């Protein structure tokens, strides 16, 4: 079996990924499978940090559209990530993986506050760390939190687990001629507004030359494949390694 090519990874898991086929909330089977996969790569000796989203419970923009003040709505969104983090922590600990839940918003009874050096120490001690609470600030996303934390902990790569195979030239659901790009530059992602992550998150990765791998979490085994450097999904880096785009199958 292939060996890991990264020593330390930051895995971004969106709230939506935890929903499974449900319209809302957490699907225990889905969270169990993701936990299995995280436990697997952790077992390969990879240091794993994860940032959890909250969109399966509440999104600030949507809540604000229904009349809640935006900052309050974003606070609600950040709290949603804590709920997801607690579920993921439970699933991982059931698999005997030592974890630490670390929140950008202090909640001492249930998670640790974010202290960078302490987080790094947990990784060195082979604990999986789960970052919740986003950046701790409204008007940001958990993608930005993932870019921020990945840089802070000196991760080798940001693994963005999504529901699609990678980055497409346009929305494959709307455009038949959409093509998947196995490789693209940060600049291309920003200029062409390709839906990798929000612009703030991509810029932060670009400025610090942190590669981003976008891949499909719905395919079992893909976290291991991404960690082992297999050619799945799309790699966003300083320069694209190939201009060829894959046909959508
Ligand atoms: N959020 C925020 N600041 C952050 C991260 C998240 O205010 O730094 C809020 C925001 O309202 C967002 C919600 O938390 O809509 C859930 O996060 P996100 O939408 O990024 O989750 P995902 O799409 O990954 O499930």
pLDDT tens across 122-161, in order? 999 999 999 999 999 999 999 999 999 999 999 999 999 9
For the Cβ of 162 lying below 6 angstroms from any atom of ligand 1, the answer is: no
Asked if residue 149 lies in contact with residue 49, where contact means CB atoms within 8 angstroms, the answer is yes
Name every residue whose Cβ is closer than 8 Å to that of residue 79 and which is 6 or more positions away in sequence.
54, 105, 133
Distance 208 CA to ligand 1 centre (A): 22
Please report the pLDDT score of residue 249 as a whole number: 42
**Does residue 77 line the site of ligand 1, with CB under 6 A?**
yes
Per-residue pLDDT reduced to its tens digit, 154-188: 999 999 999 999 999 998 888 989 999 999 999 99
Residue 189 falls in which region: left (phi positive, over 0), alpha (psi -120 to 50) or beta: alpha
Report how far residue 226's alpha carbon sits from residue 139's, in angstroms, rounded to the nearest whole number. Answer: 30
Closest residue CA from atom 13 of ligand 1: 77
Separation between Cα atoms, residue 184 and residue 193, nearest integer Å: 12
Cα–Cα distance for residue pair 52/146, rounded to 1 Å? 8
Per-residue pLDDT reduced to its tens digit, 96-112: 999 999 999 999 999 99
217's CB contacts (< 8 A; 6+ apart) are 13, 17, 34, 161, 162, 163, 223
DSSP annotation string for 107-139: -TTTSEE--HHHHHHHHHTT-EEEEESTTSSTT
pLDDT (average), residues 225-232: 96
CA of 11 to the centre of ligand 1 (A): 16
| Mean per-residue pLDDT over the chain, rounded | 94
Ligand 1 atom index nearest CA of 17? 25
């Amino acid at each position: 079996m292939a060996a890991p090519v990264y020593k330390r990874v930051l895995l971004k898991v969106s709230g939506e990924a935890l929903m499974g086929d449900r319209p809302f909330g957490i699907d225990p089977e889905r969270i169990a499978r993701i936990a299995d996969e995280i436990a697997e790569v952790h077992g390969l000796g990879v240091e794993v940090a994860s940032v959890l989203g909250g969109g399966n419970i509440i999104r600030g923009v949507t809540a604000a559209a229904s009349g809640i003040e935006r900052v309050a709505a974003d606070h609600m969104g950040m709290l949603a990530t804590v709920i997801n983090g607690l579920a993921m922590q439970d699933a991982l600990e059931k698999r005997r993986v030592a974890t630490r839940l670390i929140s950008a918003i202090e909640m001492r009874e249930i998670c640790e506050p974010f202290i960078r050096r302490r987080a790094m120490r947990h990784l060195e001690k082979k604990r999986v760390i789960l970052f919740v609470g986003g950046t701790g600030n409204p008007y940001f996303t958990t993608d930005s939190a993932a870019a921020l934390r990945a840089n802070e902990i000196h991760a080798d790569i940001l693994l963005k687990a999504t529901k699609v195979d990678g980055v497409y030239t346009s929305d494959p659901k709307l455009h038949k001629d959409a093509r998947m790009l196995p490789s693209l530059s940060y600049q291309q992602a920003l200029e062409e507004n390709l839906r990798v992550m929000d612009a703030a998150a991509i810029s932060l990765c670009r400025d610090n030359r942190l590669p981003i791998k976008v891949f499909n979490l719905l395919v079992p085994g893909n976290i291991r494949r991404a960690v082992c450097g297999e050619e799945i999904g799309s790699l966003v880096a300083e320069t694209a390694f190939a201009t060829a785009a894959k046909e959508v199958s």
